[in-house]
């Protein structure tokens, strides 16, 4: 039962538990509740671009937005910044408040911390915006640090790998058994580029089989399952 987990973990810290656990944000910790897909669609339409279908919009959650707008929505590079600015303004105004933590995830993170793990966030969302979202959802205090993209998203290169690397370097003394937790293939690939495993969560935005095909060490479907996998050290 979820309410008993923190006590259980505090009472018996498992020897092979991961010491550093990095969480993705959207689709892993927080359900955007349509704020991302709906916001991107509205921004595109307001700038005269066609509204993408649902599959394309779902695929835009996770990768760098600048890349998604060009690759999946056909926005010319010269107009990416204006579309992104419109999207970000709407997200800050209403999107963050619409988002919600996934069921059991806050208690999961609390249990990990109580058991002695260092827990941090590694997201491709701009770092300043990730900080604001976590504060708005009452989650920021649960994490030792937050790592994300620079404010100028168009300048982002390398995908998730450098963000995960920054988190690993920040917590180098705690990274004896690091692991990534995420909902898209970019999380799995970024983790692999840094020589660590990734646990996929099935409640996010991955297409069927995406996480398995990318090489996720495990795919879980509830916060309880995630705790069990992390406790076992894979």
In the three-class reduction of DSSP (H, G, I as helix; E, B as strand; rest coil), residue 18 is classed as coil
* CA distance to 54, 87, 135, 191, per residue, from 49 (Å): 15, 13, 33, 34
Place of tokens 């309880």: 224
DSSP annotation of 140 reads G
User: Mapping DSSP to helix (H, G, I), strand (E, B) and coil, where does residue 136 land?
Assistant: helix
Q: Which helix (H) or strand (E) holds 66?
A: helix 65-71
Q: In this structure, are residues 50 and 44 in contact, taking their beta carbons and an 8 Å threshold?
A: yes
Per the DSSP assignment, residues forming a β-bridge with 126 are 149
Does the annotation count 26 as an active-site position?
no
3-class SS of residue 54: helix
In this structure, the number of other CB atoms found within 10 A of the CB of residue 207 comes to 12
Q: How long is the chain?
A: 234
Which one from 24, 26, 183, 187 is the annotated catalytic residue? 24
Active site residues: 24
């Amino acid at each position: 039962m979820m309410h008993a987990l923190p006590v259980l973990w505090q009472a018996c810290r498992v020897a092979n538990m991961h010491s550093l656990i990095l969480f993705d944000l959207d689709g892993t910790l927080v359900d955007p509740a349509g704020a991302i897909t709906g916001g991107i669609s509205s921004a595109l339409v307001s700038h005269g671009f066609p509204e993408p279908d649902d599959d394309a919009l779902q695929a835009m959650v996770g990768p760098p937005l600048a890349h998604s707008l060009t690759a999946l929505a056909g926005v010319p590079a010269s107009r990416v910044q204006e579309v992104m600015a419109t999207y970000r303004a709407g997200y800050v105004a209403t999107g963050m408040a619409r988002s919600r933590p996934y069921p059991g995830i806050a208690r999961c993170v609390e249990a990990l911390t109580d058991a002695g793990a260092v827990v941090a966030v590694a997201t491709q969302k701009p770092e300043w915006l990730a900080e604001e979202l976590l504060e708005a959802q009452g989650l920021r205090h649960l994490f030792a640090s937050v790592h994300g993209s620079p404010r100028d998203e168009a300048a982002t290169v390398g995908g998730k790998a450098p963000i995960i690397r920054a988190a690993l370097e920040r917590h180098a003394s705690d990274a004896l058994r690091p692991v990534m937790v995420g909902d898209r293939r970019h999380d799995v690939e970024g983790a692999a580029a840094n020589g660590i495993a990734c646990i996929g969560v099935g409640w996010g935005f991955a297409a069927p089989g995406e996480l398995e095909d990318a090489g996720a060490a495990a795919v879980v479907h509830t916060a309880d399952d995630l705790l069990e996998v992390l406790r076992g050290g894979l």
